[in-house]
Amino acid sequence: MSKFYSLYIEFPNVDFKPYYIEGKKEVQQTHQAHLYTKKNSIELKIFFDDQTYFGDKLMTWLSKIDWSKFGSLLKVELADHFTNERLQKIDLSKSKLLGSSNSSNFYQNGLKYINVKIDSVKFYWNPVEYENNTAEFYLDDKGFRVVEPFYSYLSQKSFLKNDGKFEIGRMNDSTKFYKLAKSSFRPEYNFVPKDNRQERNARVFKEPKIQFKYQNGITEEEAIFYGDVILMLASFYHHIKIEYVFRRIHLPESTITIKNREQKNFLDTKGNLWGFGIHWDFNKFLQSSWQKETLKNFGLLSKAITLFNQSHLVDNYSAFLIRYNIIEICDKQQRPKEKFTTTLNKKQRKFKQDEALSKLLETIKIDEHDEFKKRWENVQSLLQNKPMKKQLVSFLESQMLDPKDFPISIKELKELRDNITHGSMNNVNAELLNKANILLYRISGILILNLMGINDWKLNTIIE
């Protein structure tokens, strides 16, 4: 089997003439390319005639585009040669550009090439009938913390006989699948044995994954979405961004595989729900009633959880601003306006209002009366409504959080935010900032739990 996938790549809406110098030959519409997928990289070798200067032109064009939209600017087709007969198509439309390199030494079989690095690629294969409506979503290294609590340790299957059979059993109360809309899922290990009969030691490698089962009629978009939901839950629980490195989705029309570049370097943090008064392991968390509200609030939760995890990787000043921002993001309340109770009917009220306007106009120049009357209409509308609580206080109370119980006042929190935002670091008390960060960590986590429909939390107002 070939080490690469052979493609034809076209840039249908790009005119390369203005970029770099004009070559002796025109840039071709379509280019042959080889796609290489490795654990830590996904690369495209795009071949071209060196007399077109396409490599330099492409590098110039790439410097001017939005890298997150790179894949959507391509048209990709499979080449007839070096192609697996089970492969239906390759999709790069969601691929983000990570970088490119162009060297005078990049030649292969008489053609020059440029290397382009991307973050993901999607393959469509002929379906595997007996695997229909199942999927395996493999996690990166950080995903071990998700799956590890569900298993015990490797042991002989039977201690009464030495038959060479071993197993890693699942922990109690972690064997069932959890329900999510049209799917069910559970964290699992994929076991990969590696052995050499000439060596004394045999090894078993564990790969963390989320195993899915689907109802009939599941769509590709739904399958990917459900996977994103579980990844978001795991990332929040463990306080760190966890990612998929490989996804395999078996549907009746195609088996879809999605490869993502694995990123090894990360700042590690460890988390749970203890800071919010919930002493659940991840298994217990998945058993709670989060499905309905999490699906409904997925977009809002994605933003909040991304920021929540980011706040653990930055300095105290940035962490404070991020956590304060989470509160503002979660505030989606529509506050009803409460009106004053009137003692007159509509006709009587109008008479009194016109009388008041007449008195006020006596204090204004005649040539400005028309403008004043317009402002008076706005004032009347505002005066009908009772004064409202401040937005932040009102929102927190709606979330069953009483600011009067906080160890730090709302006023102090706002002053901290203003000083940090305006760069007045000398006015920031370090001890107060540290306490505020602890409080905002607890509050932001509770707000995220509320968006998930989980109300088993308890706010700890003691900060030592």
- pLDDT tens digits, residue range 322-354? 999 999 999 875 455 556 788 888 888 888 788
What is this structure's pTM?
A: 0.84
Does residue 272 sit in the same domain as residue 152? yes
CA atoms within 13 A on the CB side of 12: 8
Instruction: Kindly give, in sequence order, each residue whose CB lies less than 8 Å from that of residue 300, ignoring residues fewer than 6 positions away.
Output: 329, 330, 332, 451
- Please give the pLDDT value at position 60: 94
In a domain, 464, yes or no: no
Domain region containing 100: 5-122
DSSP state of 93: T
Residue 95 domain-assigned (yes or no): yes
* Closest by CA position to 88, among listed 33, 125, 122: 125
Is residue 340 in some structural domain? no
Q: How confident is the model at residue 388 (pLDDT cuts 50, 70, 90)?
A: very low
pLDDT band at 246 (very low <50, low <70, confident <90, very high): very high
Q: Provide the residue type at 329 as one letter.
A: I
* pLDDT surpassing 50 at residue 360: yes
* Interatomic CA distance for residues 392 and 102, integer angstroms: 53
Per-residue pLDDT, averaged over 129-144, amounts to 95
Contacts of 174 (CB under 8 A, 6+ apart): 149, 150, 186, 283
Same domain membership, residue 186 and residue 38: no
Total count of domains within the chain: 4
Q: Which pLDDT value is given to residue 265?
A: 63
Has residue 386 got a pLDDT over 60?
no
Three-state DSSP class for residue 45: strand
Residues 13 and 100 occupy one common structural domain? yes
266 pLDDT exceeds 70?
no
Q: Clarify whether residues 410 and 444 are in a common domain.
A: yes
Lookup: tokens for 429: 């008390």
Give me the sign of the Cα torsion angle 129, 133, 136, 137: positive
pLDDT at 437 over 60: yes
- Cβ neighbourhood burial of 336 (10 Å; 0-12, 13-18, 19+): exposed
Q: Is 68 in a helix, a strand, or coil?
A: helix
Residues 259, 408, single domain; the answer is no
Q: Which of 9-23, 208-222, 305-319, 427-441 has the lowest mean pLDDT?
A: 9-23
Shared domain for 71 and 219, answered yes or no, is no
Instruction: Give the helix/strand (H/E) hosting 369.
Output: helix 369-383
Q: Which residue has the higher pLDDT, 305 or 84?
A: 305
Tokens 């003439």 appear where? 17
Residue 366 belongs to a domain = yes
Residue 215, pLDDT score? 96
Q: State how far Cα 352 lies from the chain centre.
A: 57
pLDDT tens sequence across 90-114: 999 999 999 999 988 999 988 999 9
Question: Closest Cα partner for 259 from 66, 100, 95, 131?
Answer: 95
Mean pLDDT of 21-44: 91
- Give yes or no for a contact between 287 and 178, defined as CB atoms under 8 angstroms apart: yes
| Contacting residues for 406 by C-beta, under 8 A, at least 6 apart | 439, 461
Same domain, 236 and 313: no
Same domain, 306 and 169: no
Q: Considering the domain boundaries, does residue 138 fall inside one?
A: yes
Domain end point (choices 104, 122, 140): 122
pLDDT tens-digit profile of 181-229? 999 999 999 988 888 888 888 888 899 999 999 999 999 999 999 999 9
CA distance 419 to 430: 12
Whether pLDDT at 389 is above 90: no
Question: Is the Cβ–Cβ distance between 134 and 250 less than 8 Å?
Answer: yes
What is the model's pLDDT at position 156? Answer: 65
Residue 403 within a domain = yes
Mean of the pLDDT values across residues 273-281?
96
The verdict on 314 and 363 lying in the same domain is: no
Specify if 339 maps to a domain: no
Mean pLDDT of all residues in the chain?
Answer: 89
The tally of CA atoms less than 13 A away on the side-chain side of residue 449 is 26
pLDDT at 350: 82
Q: Does the residue 217 lie in any domain?
A: yes
Can you read off the two tokens belonging to residue 164? 């060479």
Q: Looking at the structure, do residues 144 and 276 belong to the same domain, yes or no?
A: yes
Antiparallel, parallel or unpaired: β 5-10 and 30-37:
antiparallel
| pLDDT of 82 strictly over 70 | no
Three-state DSSP class for 379? helix
Q: How far apart are CA 375 and CA 353, in angstroms?
A: 14
- Which comes out higher in pLDDT, residue 392 or 245? 245
DSSP string, 249-313: EE-SS-EEEEEE------------SGGGT----HHHHHHSS-HHHHHHTHHHHHHHHHHHHHTTS
Same domain, 398 and 433: yes
Q: Is there a single domain that holds both residue 143 and residue 239?
A: yes
Give the Cα separation of 256 and 227 in Å (integer).
14
